[in-house]
Amino acid sequence: MYGFELKIPNDWRVEVNPKSTREKGDVAFHSKAGNRFFVTWGDLAKVEGRFKSLEEHRDKNVKQIRSGPDVKKVDITESHDEQISGHRALFSHVSADVKAGMFARGSYARDMWSIHLYCPEQARYYVIYCLLRDPKEYQDFAYIFNSMARSLVCHPSAFNS
């Protein structure tokens, strides 16, 4: 779809943003329990002009999470390099303390995973991320996220590898 390939579980629902184009867009994958996995892509030249590195790009996204009205605290609990489709990819696990609803007290933890990568062959950036809504759905959701993210094929020569 739109020049990339990704393997997802058979029972997940796919939702393509109707405004998506080959140049820029996003797609959401929904599990049965409402956990969501997103792939966003766009013009690599635009992000390379704004960010000096994958880390800086990721940090901007974490800052956006921190600015949420219900977010109390955000920490990058894990970060490391991966290789996806022959590219350096930055894996991050982010934990956020989110205020409970209007009438509830306290807060709850929300886990998010992301991978940022740049594909010069397609002149695209990709941000792959997941919001965990129901932690009971999978025993090891990090494994599900990593399996899906590592399956990304972003340019034609990677389709044959």
Query: What's the pTM value of the predicted model, to 2 decimals?
Result: 0.86
- Per-residue pLDDT reduced to its tens digit, 98-133: 777 666 676 667 778 899 999 999 999 999 999 777
User: Domain limits of the chain?
Assistant: 13-159
- Mark out the alpha helices in 15-152 (DSSP H runs): 44-50, 54-66, 141-150
Q: Which superfamily is assigned to 13-159 in CATH?
A: Mog1/PsbP, alpha/beta/alpha sandwich (3.40.1000.10)
Average pLDDT, the chain: 87
Q: CA 115, CA 87: separation in Å to the nearest integer?
A: 12
